[in-house]
């Protein structure tokens, strides 16, 4: 079964947004996360040059945004709606955090349209609007400072949706670690150098080599790094010391 990209089935709905800049910022936040379907319910000032300014390059999202007269109109074709809200309600709708809502929404969006609904900057979503939704979702905030900007909230939800869709970073070429035998040879070189320079006395070892092994073991040395370290070690011991046995 070849299912579509769930992010294409996610709709962001902004209700009675007051500041046109927030609509632009939200469009940009959506676009960076690969979400492009925006519906605006009775925006106070729209269209407006500030929306375009804050959208940066996400003009395609703004251009395609639908302006609706009601939340019902904005939810046309949607099977599951999440009310994004900062405050608890006396409504029986279950409440989860943004991550859980994104996981459920992204899962459902594999086969149907799913909406995330955001309210006005000052008073949030009305109870009437929340009652249209299946789930209440909230971003955990400092209980002493509740003032999350609506475009920042859109950013967090869209980010969580991308993460929920397996939005991992493009695979990085894993580093080429030095072979353990190369690292062992380095430890041998290190120990003999420390003996030769006088720092390490094998008769009173004080767990020194064990500690150094622990340190370099955490580093996960690359081949070229081993080469650099051994170059440094070699530079510490002058040729005359290396041939001490033949000194006069």
Stretch of 38-46, 142-150, 189-197, 198-206 lying at the interface with a copy of itself (CB under 8 A): 142-150
Which ranges of the chain does DSSP label H, i.e. alpha helix? 20-32, 49-55, 59-64, 71-74, 98-108, 127-130, 150-164, 180-196, 208-219, 223-236, 239-242
Residue 207 Ramachandran class (φ > 0 left, ψ -120 to 50 alpha, else beta): left
Alpha-carbon distance of 115 to 239, in angstroms, equals 74
Residue 56 Ramachandran class (φ > 0 left, ψ -120 to 50 alpha, else beta): left
Please tell me whether residue 99 binds a copy of itself under the rule CB under 8 A: yes
**Does residue 7 contact residue 161 with C-beta atoms inside 8 Å?**
yes
Binding mask 110-139 for a copy of itself (x = CB under 8 A): ----------------------------xx
Please tell me whether residue 107 binds a copy of itself under the rule CB under 8 A: no
Stretch of 10-18, 104-112, 168-176, 194-202 lying at the interface with a copy of itself (CB under 8 A): 168-176
For tokens 């209440």, what's the residue?
A: 136
Please tell me whether residue 17 binds a copy of itself under the rule CB under 8 A: no
Contacting residue, 59, 148, 185, 237, with a copy of itself by CB under 8 A: 148
Q: Nearest distance from residue 27's CB to a copy of itself, in Å? A: 11
Alpha-carbon distance of 65 to 96, in angstroms, equals 28
Contacting residue, 25, 51, 85, 120, with a copy of itself by CB under 8 A: 25
Please tell me whether residue 59 binds a copy of itself under the rule CB under 8 A: no
Stretch of 42-50, 71-79, 89-97, 106-114 lying at the interface with a copy of itself (CB under 8 A): 89-97
Nearer to a copy of itself by C-beta: 121 or 196? 121
For tokens 């905030």, what's the residue?
A: 141
Q: Nearest distance from residue 45's CB to a copy of itself, in Å? A: 17
Please tell me whether residue 90 binds a copy of itself under the rule CB under 8 A: no
Q: How far apart are the first and last CA of the chain?
A: 82
Q: Which residues bind a copy of itself (CB under 8 A)?
A: 25, 28-29, 31-34, 56-58, 88, 92, 94-97, 99, 138-149, 151-152, 155-156, 159, 162-163, 167-170, 172, 175, 222
């Amino acid at each position: 079964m070849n299912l579509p990209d769930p992010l294409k089935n996610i709709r962001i709905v902004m209700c009675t947004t007051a500041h046109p800049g927030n609509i632009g910022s939200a469009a940009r936040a959506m676009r960076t996360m690969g979400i492009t379907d925006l519906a605006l319910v009775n925006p106070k000032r729209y269209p407006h040059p500030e929306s375009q300014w804050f959208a940066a390059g996400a003009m395609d999202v703004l251009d395609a945004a639908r302006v609706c007269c009601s939340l019902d109109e904005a939810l046309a074709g949607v099977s599951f709606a999440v009310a994004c809200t900062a405050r608890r309600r006396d409504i029986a709708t279950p409440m989860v955090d943004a991550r859980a809502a994104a996981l459920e929404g992204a899962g459902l969006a594999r086969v149907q349209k799913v909406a995330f609904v955001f309210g006005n900057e000052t008073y949030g979503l009305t109870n009437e609007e929340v009652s249209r939704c299946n789930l209440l979702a909230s971003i955990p905030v400092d209980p002493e400072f509740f003032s999350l900007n609506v475009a920042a909230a859109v950013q967090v939800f869209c980010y969580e949706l991308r993460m929920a869709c397996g939005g991992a970073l493009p695979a990085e070429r894993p580093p080429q670690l030095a072979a353990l035998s190369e690292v062992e040879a380095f430890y041998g070189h290190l120990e003999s150098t420390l003996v030769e320079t006088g720092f390490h006395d094998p008769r009173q070892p004080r767990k020194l080599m064990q500690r150094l092994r622990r340190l370099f073991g955490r580093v996960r040395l690359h081949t070229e790094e081993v080469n650099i370290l051994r170059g440094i070690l070699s530079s510490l011991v002058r040729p005359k010391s290396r041939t001490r046995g033949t000194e006069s």
